[in-house]
Amino acid sequence: MDFLKSVTGKVISGIVALIVIAGGISWWRTDPATRDMLVTGGGRIASWLGIVLLIPWATFFVIGKVAKTESNAAGAALIAGYTILETVLLAWLFRWHMPNSTAWTFLLVGGLFAGVYNLFTCDWIAEKVVG
């Protein structure tokens, strides 16, 4: 509570309030087509992220079976399978349309994020299930 009473806390709170107000005004002044594009794209990204975060937890029993084989190749195949499936899902959500380098970069970064998340999450789940 002391942070909000300090000068730094007041300055940061003011900056945050200014950003929120500027964002609200920008949203209000944006034309309906652009607003719809942002909401639709954001919804697709949020749903894809939710699926990526959920898949390892929903299939913990598969991860446990693979971990019990004590095979690095099986674990790598599982993680690669999850990652490829999630990257293909992301491309499908955007109707297989990657019009420019920014879209391709987003797809590749999304796939990289999914792969790293799958690696760490599956490793943690495997340690808890087998260990």
Domain ranges of the chain: 1-30, 39-130
Closest CA to 78 of 53, 69, 24: 69
Confidence of residue 28 (pLDDT cuts 50, 70, 90): confident
Residues 100, 51 contacting (CB under 8 angstroms): no
Which tokens sit at 51?
């699926």
Residues 103-128 have a mean pLDDT of 93
Q: What letter represents residue 65's amino acid?
A: K
pLDDT at 2: 61
For the entire predicted model, the pTM comes to 0.71
Task: Inform me whether the pLDDT recorded for 4 exceeds 80.
Answer: no
Here the tokens at position 76 are 């790598």
Q: Predicted confidence band at 23 (pLDDT cuts at 50, 70, 90)?
A: confident
Percentage of the chain lying above the pLDDT 70 cut? 95
pLDDT at 26: 83
